[in-house]
Structure 1
Amino acid sequence: MSSKQQAVRARPSAGWALLGSELSVLFRRWRTWAMLAALAAIPVLIALAVRLSSRDPGPGQGPPFLDRVTQNGLFIALTATVVSIPLFLPLTISVVAGDAIAGEANLGTLRYLLAAPAGRIRLLAVKYAAAVAFCITAALTVVTAGMLIGVALFPVGPVTLLSGDTISVGESVLRLLLIAGYVSLSLAGLAAIGLFISTLTEVPVGAMAATAVLAVVAQILGALPQLDWLHPWLFTHHWVGFADLLRQPISWDAFAANALLQGGYIALFCTLAYGRFASKDVLS
């Protein structure tokens, strides 16, 4: 077999090896675990605040589902998810995605990665896949920590859905995992935006900050009724649209609309990222 044929065969395995290495580096960093610990602390703090309070929260007080926590601890996971979506989850995703390319350039390791038989498009694909893996991990962290602390501090039983139907604890856990998947999908669009911004600079802090600011600005624009025409195009538009997963039967319309919107952002900004990265002179 010629050396050229060997190189062609090695490419897929090289890509998987690069992805494995990227995931290993990402989840060995103290920064990554510190962010996940901070996310896990959100449901813990909510649960402790309700548990130690002298009175139960009334209907409409505090974040959504908070008034149901004392009756069923599984609602801690829902409350924590709603609380985390506007700021905390986007902030952690911005850190990971913004650091993807800019961090390597800042450390002087980017040119060495490109010298390997990975290629620029494969390197971008690996960096984005790692960011999506973190999106999934972050969403699962909030939901899992919420379920665990809810079970530990409050009674747990069948859950009454928004439609008025009651489902078992096992099915409730599956619904919560579906919500984690919905949130992960929502954050995947932001990760693509962060990846593109990361190709524009060699200063990772700048890319992280710009990505986080865009997430906040999009939510502010989405809250202005004067911009109703713009709302369906904002990547944050469906971020809290997982209420349909809490009905019987499940309505997948919001999930499909969110997937279509995020898919458009992923396709657009990954293409822009490649267009920028493919023509970029890498000196570090």
Structure 2
Amino acid sequence: MPRAPSPGTPGPRVPGLRLLGSELGVLFRRRRTWAMLLALAAIPVLIAVAVRLSSAVPPGRGPAFLDRISQNGLFAGVTAMLVAVPLFLPLTIGVVAGDTVAGEAGLGTLRYLLAAPAGRGRLLVVKFAGAVVFAVAAPFTVALVGAGIGAALFPVGPVTLLSGDSIGAAEALARLLLIAAYLAVSLVGLSAIGLFMSTLTDVPVGAMAATVVFAVVSQVADALPQLEWLHPWLFTHRWLDFADLLRQPIVWDSFAANALLQGGYLAVFGALAYARFTTKDVLS
């Protein structure tokens, strides 16, 4: 009969969790990862310092909420996220997601990873999970640094929402984090696209560039009125639709619609990545 494990014996290890822990460890030990997070953190710092050094910001000039930062420092985080969404966040996500598989192939380590009992499907899921973790860390970095530098340079108090209601600073900070969560969900679709691009090549720079270009093209198409019929299907279409989170009570319709849209891109490009990766000849 098999022996029962003694109380001090560690339980069986889960290969997928161990592989995910290793992936996250590699990702967040890279200087490139921290350089990108520091670059994102510099956005709210630059905005807040510029507002602090200026005499006044005319209403309606510059990004949304820019003229409110001097009245309430929490708006530095909101303004910074609005500035980061069109280019800076997609750029960093494109670098991380585009490097998932192609980076291992370029280094010649992919075949060694596949020699482990994890399997191609599990490895692909772990790589995507790593990209999603970064997609969560990126907007939260902008939001938290923005709130911190805003509180350091400007007064912080009750915030008047778009609905006209006023909420306290603590609840306003919670709304700021909700916007960061909304943007993290928005970047899931782009992460799936980057994962698929990464399975198509052994050159990570090519996959990174293709992912970023995909995001830029989607935003350009979303700005063209001639393509209005296509707009609801573009993964960038709802990136800035978080105004409902700044109302009282919160309306979750935009959050749910955005999550559904990104889930569709995840299903399609995740399936394409799986089909490509499970049939790919790995030579490096």
TM range (shorter): over 0.9
- In structure 1, the partner of 2:127 is 127
- In structure 2, the partner of 1:151 is 151
- Residues 199-239 of structure 1 deviation map (CA, whole Å, 9 limit, x = unaligned): 00000000000000110010000000111000000000000
Instruction: Give the CA RMSD over aligned residues.
Output: 1.2
Distance 1:256 1:178 in 2: 13
Q: How does 1:11-160 map to 2 (within 5 A)?
A: 13-53=14-54, 55-160=55-160
Consecutive aligned runs of 4 or more in structure 1 exceeding 6 Å deviation: none
- In structure 2, the partner of 1:265 is 265
Cα distance, 1:58 vs. partner? 1.6
Cα distance, 1:274 vs. partner? 0.3
Distance 1:60 1:228 in 2: 26
SS of aligned partner of 2:195: helix
- In structure 2, the partner of 1:229 is 229
Q: How does 1:115-264 map to 2 (within 5 A)?
A: 115-264=115-264
SS of aligned partner of 1:27: helix
- Residues 10-34 of structure 1 deviation map (CA, whole Å, 9 limit, x = unaligned): 6x70110000000000000000000
Cα distance, 1:268 vs. partner? 0.6
Unaligned segments of structure 2, at least 5 residues: 3-10
Cα distance, 1:148 vs. partner? 0.3
Distance 2:261 2:56 in 1: 38
SS of aligned partner of 2:29: coil
Distance 1:205 1:109 in 2: 17
Cα distance, 1:243 vs. partner? 0.7
Distance 1:15 1:135 in 2: 20
Residue identity in the other structure for 1:178: L
Cα distance, 1:111 vs. partner? 0.4
Distance 1:180 1:114 in 2: 35
- Residues 248-277 of structure 1 deviation map (CA, whole Å, 9 limit, x = unaligned): 011101001100100000011011000000
Unaligned segments of structure 1, at least 5 residues: 3-8
Cα distance, 1:59 vs. partner? 1.4
SS of aligned partner of 1:215: helix
Name the % identity: 71
Residue identity in the other structure for 1:65: F
SS of aligned partner of 2:280: coil
TM-score (norm: length of structure 2): 0.96
Distance 2:48 2:103 in 1: 36
Distance 2:274 2:43 in 1: 36
Aligned residues: 276
Distance 1:279 1:250 in 2: 45
Distance 1:49 1:217 in 2: 31
